[in-house]
């Protein structure tokens, strides 16, 4: 269903639904109410079909969620121009953050063993391909993708907890600020760090740049070793 030609129901009247329409209906529900609100019954009702008729197209909820993920994430857009690996990964991470921001339920739908489609795998392919030829092993390139995605997911989780209009860093400062100021003598480093925040949520960018710095250092070290051995 995710990888080949979309099968057509073999019984009943001529199909009037498409898998894309079904996926978009599920996305509409999940965007408004969360993944837990999605069911075959709800999607069928939104499309003005019966639950049993929906089963002619999608075997069950697991397949429905897989279709929703494929439709929601799409494929990562190529970075403009012909950027180096670092620019490609920076652009990739920001695109992933935008996808999680637009569809927070993706955080729940993309964990654990599950069906994975070609669009979702294209995200992994983009990172692994960008790092090819830089001296990293295959497993290291895969780990780099997991590390980047994990950072983006962590920030997206904080943003979801903060709510649509929330600023996770501002909320943290609001909760801890008074305590730290009151007990500044016991926590002087925290008091100093929190005394003059710049008012901008930069956790995503800061962490992303540090991860890329680490990869850059590793790649430089590997390339240096190759140069020495080649000389």
Q: CA 157: distance to chain centroid?
A: 10
Start-end of CATH 1.10.357 domains in the chain:
85-166+201-230
pLDDT of residue 231: 46
Query: What class, spelled out in words, does domain 19-73 have in CATH?
Result: mainly alpha
Residue 159 confidence (pLDDT) above 70: yes
- Runs of H (alpha helix) within 58-137: 61-73, 85-102, 106-109, 118-130
What average pLDDT does range 91-114 have in this prediction? 95
User: Among the listed ranges 6-15, 58-67, 164-173, which one has the minimum average pLDDT value?
Assistant: 6-15
Whether 9 and 56 have beta carbons less than 8 Å apart is answered as yes
Closest CA to 215 of 136, 116, 115, 99: 136
CA distance linking residue 144 with residue 92, whole number of Å:
12
* Cβ neighbours for 45, distance < 8 A, ≥ 6 positions apart: none
Residue 72 confidence (pLDDT) above 80: yes
Is the domain spanning 85-166+201-230 CATH 2.170.120? The answer is no
Start-end of CATH 1.10.10.60 domains in the chain:
19-73
């Amino acid at each position: 269903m995710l990888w080949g030609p979309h099968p057509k129901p073999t019984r009943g009247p001529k199909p009037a639904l498409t898998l894309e329409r079904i996926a978009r209906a599920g996305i509409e529900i999940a965007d408004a109410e969360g993944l837990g609100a999605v069911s075959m019954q709800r999607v069928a009702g939104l499309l003005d079909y019966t639950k049993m008729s929906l089963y002619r197209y999608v075997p069950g909820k697991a397949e429905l969620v897989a279709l929703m993920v494929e439709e929601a994430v799409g494929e990562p857009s190529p970075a403009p121009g012909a950027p180096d690996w670092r620019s490609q990964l920076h652009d990739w991470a920001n695109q992933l953050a935008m996808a999680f921001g637009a569809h927070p339920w993706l955080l729940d739908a993309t964990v654990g063993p599950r069906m994975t489609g070609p669009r979702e795998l294209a995200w992994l392919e983009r990172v692994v391909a960008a790092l090819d030829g830089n001296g990293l092993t295959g497993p290291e390139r895969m780990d780099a993708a997991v590390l980047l995605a994990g950072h983006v997911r962590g920030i997206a989780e904080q943003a979801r907890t903060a709510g649509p209009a929330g600023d996770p860093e501002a909320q943290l400062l609001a909760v801890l600020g008074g305590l730290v100021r009151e007990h500044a003598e016991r926590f002087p480093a925290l008091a100093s760090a929190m005394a003059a925040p710049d008012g901008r949520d930069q956790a995503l960018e800061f962490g992303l740049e540090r991860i890329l710095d680490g990869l850059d250092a590793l790649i430089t070290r590997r390339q240096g070793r190759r140069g020495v051995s080649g000389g």
